Amino acid sequence: MLQKPAIFLDRDNTLIHDGGYIFEIEKFAWINGAAAALKRFHEANIPVFVVTNQGGIGRGIFSEDQMNHFNNHMIAAASKAGGCITDIAFCPHHPLSPNPAMAIACGCRKPEPGMLFNLARKWKIDLSESVMIGDRDSDVEAGYRAGAHGYLFNQNNLDDLAKHVISTHFSLKTGNANV
C-alpha cells in the first residue's frame, strides 16, 4: 500500500484569524500568507488536512452545523485561491463543557494525536514523513505524538513557513503525495 506524506494545519491563528470561537462567515479572514501557502502546497502535490479543536461546540457557543458551514466556506475560499484542503478533522470536546458527554478527556483534543491518526488511516498518510503546523505548543505536540514533524507558527507569514517546510521535508517526495 502506497503511503504518502501530508501537511496537517491547525485552523485558528494558523490558517484564519481567531476572534474567539469563530464560526460566522462574515468574520472569516485568512492569516497573512495562508491562501498562498495552501496554493503552494497544492502546486507541490502535498495534501493538506486541517485538525482543529472546536471546544465551542462542547461549550454550547455554536453548533456542529455552524462550524461545518464555516469550514465549507474556508474550503471554497482555499479552492478559489488555487489551494486545496483535502479534509478537516475536529474535536468538539472541552473540559469546561456544561454537558458531561462533551467534558470528557478524549484522544482527539490536541495535544492528543487522535485526529491525525484518524486522517492518516482514512487517507493512507505516512505520518513519519508528514508535518504538523500550528500556533500552539499543543498543536506541535499532537504532531510529535502522531510521529510527524512539528512546526510552531509565529503568525508572521504562513507562506514563508510553507516554503521552508516544502524544501526541508517534501522536495524529493512530492511525486507520491497525490490524494
What's the CATH number where 54 sits? 3.40.50.1000
- Band (pLDDT 50/70/90 cuts) for residue 175 is very low
The reply to whether 2 falls in a domain is: no
CB 141 within 8 A of CB 131: no
For 1-35, the pLDDT digits (tens) are: 558 999 999 999 999 999 888 999 999 999 999 99
Using alpha carbons, select from 132, 60, 142 the residue that is nearest to residue 109. 142
Phi, psi of 166 (to 5 degrees): -65, -45
The reply to whether 69 falls in a domain is: yes
Residue 155's CB is within 10 A of a number of other CB atoms, namely 13
Distance from first CA to last CA of the chain, Å, rounded?
13
Please identify which residue in the block is written with the cell numbers 497544492: 42
Q: Which domain holds residue 78?
A: 7-176
Q: How many domains does the chain have?
A: 1
For 104-123, the pLDDT digits (tens) are: 989 999 999 999 999 999 99
Burial call 123-134: b when 16+ CB within 10 Å, e when fewer: eebbbebbbbbb
Residue 101 C-alpha from the chain's centroid:
24
The reply to whether 118 falls in a domain is: yes
Active-site amino acid positions: 10, 12
The reply to whether 16 falls in a domain is: yes
Please identify which residue in the block is written with the cell numbers 503552494: 40
| pTM, full prediction | 0.93
The reply to whether 1 falls in a domain is: no
- Determine the Cα–Cα distance for residues 63 and 101; give it in Å rounded to an integer: 15
> Considering the chain, what is the average pLDDT of its residues?
93
The reply to whether 75 falls in a domain is: yes
